[in-house]
Amino acid sequence: MKKFLSVIVLASGLFLANDASAQMKIGYIRINDIVGLMPELAQDKLDYDTIGQKFVNDSIMPNIRYKQAELQKKFVEFGDTTKPKGVRDLIAKDIQNLQDELSGADEYVQQVLQYKQQEFLAPYMAKARKAIDAVAKKKGYTHVFSTEVFLVAPEADDLSLPVLDELKIKLPQKPAAGK
């Protein structure tokens, strides 16, 4: 919400900052849709769920599996009632520490996967951004916002189709009704 308000304040400031003689033209784009339509990122060529999975499997999961195994060992040790209370208290503390470490593991893995996906998509986002800049310049747009910023905007200021043309990307054809 803060981001949305900041963008609105910024846009309002831009309107007020320009004097009457300056021509301002604002467009909008759906950059994620543009990137999603790039042929090199087609679903049949790429499985988004596996981006970063190798890194996670090779770098993070061995540590998680080790800690899970250690936790199981600690549970077994804690269950040994022949151990003195002081030792069992230390084992209980170890169990709690391991559980605390493992409790954030899923979230951490998701963050790493998201980072790896963003890292993977960065060159495609840059390619889309370059096309957006070119189209904006050709069409005389001084500002281009993401569609999330606007609740209402004229259809004519949607630069998505011209950017797809700039990138030479054809929209997928919808199957004819009844076929």
pTM greater than 0.85: no
Give just the sign of the alpha carbon dihedral 38, 40, 44, 47.
negative
Which of 38-47, 143-152, 169-178 shows the lowest per-residue confidence on average (mean pLDDT)?
A: 169-178
Q: Which two tokens stand for residue 58?
A: 């090779």
In this structure, are residues 30 and 114 in contact, taking their beta carbons and an 8 Å threshold? no
Which tens digits make up the pLDDT trace of 95-105? 999 999 999 89
- Closest of 160, 167, 158, 165 to residue 127, by C-alpha: 167
Which tens digits make up the pLDDT trace of 113-133? 999 989 999 999 999 999 999
| Per-residue pLDDT at 62 exceeds 90 | yes
| Per-residue pLDDT at 44 exceeds 70 | no
DSSP-H helix ranges across the chain: 2-17, 31-36, 53-55, 61-79, 85-103, 105-139, 160-166
Report, as an integer, the average pLDDT of 16-23: 54
What's the pLDDT at 32?
87
